[in-house]
Amino acid sequence: MLILLFLCFKYDKLLNMNSPACDSAISEHGHDHRQGSRSSRYAQLLFVLLALGLIIFFRDAPQFNTLGIIFVSIVLEALPFMLLGTLIGGFIEVFVPRETVTRWLPEGRWWTVFIGAGMGVIFPVCECAIVPVVRKLLQKGVPLSAAIAFLLGGPIVNPLVAASTAVAYFGDWSIVMQRMMFGYGIAVGIGLLMGLLFTKAKAVHNEVSSKPVRRDAPEILGSGKPAAWTEKIGLAVNHAAGDFLDIGRFLVIGAFCAAVVQTLVPRQAFVAVMDTPGFSILIMMLLAVLLNLCSEADAFVAASFRSSLVPLSGQMAFMVLGPMLDIKLILMYLKVFKAPAIAVLASLTFIVVFLSMLTMY
C-alpha cells in the first residue's frame, strides 16, 4: 500500500510540474490548477502518515490483522480489473479516432444515453475499471449523459456480470434479468437527469472536458508520418500507465476506508434489522456502499444473505447500487468530475435505486 501511494505521489508531482496543460489552465481560467494538485499531494501524504501510525502503534491489535486482510483483499480484487480498464482506455485514446466516437455518440442527441447504458456489452468491465474508460470517452467527445449512463450501467449490463449472477443464484435467470433491467433503466434515467442538470463543462474537470495536450505526440505524430503499430501500442500502454497511477491512489484510499468500516461495524448489526419493510433495502444499500465489492463477485455475497432471510428486494438493491456507488468509486470520481456533480450523482443514484427497489415489494 505504502509503495503504491509513494509511486502515485511521485507521479502526481512530476505530472503537474512544468506541464503545458497546467500552464494552459492558468492562462485560460485565471487560477493556478496546481493548487488543487498540491492539496491532493498533502492529502496523500497525510494518509501515508496515518497508515504508518497504524502500523507502528496498532500492529499487535487483533483488529489490525483483520483490517489488513480486508484491505489487501479489496485491492487485490480490484487492481487486475482496474488495469484492464486503463488498458482499454489507453487503446481507445490511440486507436479510436475522435470522429468515430462523435459519429456514434454525437453531442446534443438524447438517444445517446440509451446506447451508453448498454455499452457494457461491448466493453465488459466492472466498476473497478470503468472510471478510466469513461474519462477517455469524455475526452473523445462523448456526451455527458451517455458517459454517466455507461459509468452506472456498464458494470452491471455486461455478459461477465450476468454469468456470475446466474452462477450465484443457481441458474435462476429471472434474477439475472431483473438485475440487468434495473441496472439499465436506472443508468438511463440518471444519465438523462445529469444531462439536464449539468453541462459537460460544469460537471467534469477542465483537463477532461477539453482534450489534454499529448506530451509524447511529437515523437510519433509530429513527423507527419503514419505511426507504426508497435509505436501505437507503446503509446497506448503509456497512456494506460499514466491513468493507472493517476487513479490508483484513490482506489487504495477507498479500499482502506472500506476496510476500516468493515472492521469496526459487524455484519450482524445490519442483519438484525432486516425484517422491517423498506428498511432492509436501505441497510443492504448502505452495506453495498461500504463493502466495495467488484460487480463480478458481489452476487455471491448477495446470495449469501438468503440464509439471513434478507428479501430479494434487499439482495437486488445490494447488487444494483454496489457497482454504481461505493467508497472507492466516489474517490475515483474525483479524477473525472467536479465535487458538485459528484454530490448530485451520488444522491440521485442512491434515491433512484431505493425507490426502484420498493417496487419489488
d(CA 291, CA 300): 13
121 with 153: CB under 8 angstroms? no
Quick one: pLDDT at residue 355?
A: 95
Helix (H) or strand (E) run with residue 345 in it: helix 339-358
Residue 230 pLDDT grade (very low, low, confident, very high; cuts 50, 70, 90): confident
Query: Is the whole model's pTM more than 0.75, yes or no?
Result: no
Summarize pLDDT for 259-290 with one digit per residue, the tens. Answer: 776 677 666 665 666 666 688 899 889 988 98
d(CA 301, CA 304): 5
Q: Which of 66-80, 171-185, 202-216 has the lowest mean pLDDT?
A: 202-216
Nearest one of 178, 177, 117, 167 to 142, comparing CA atoms: 117
Quick one: pLDDT at residue 270?
A: 59
Residues forming beta bridges with residue 336, ordered by sequence position: none
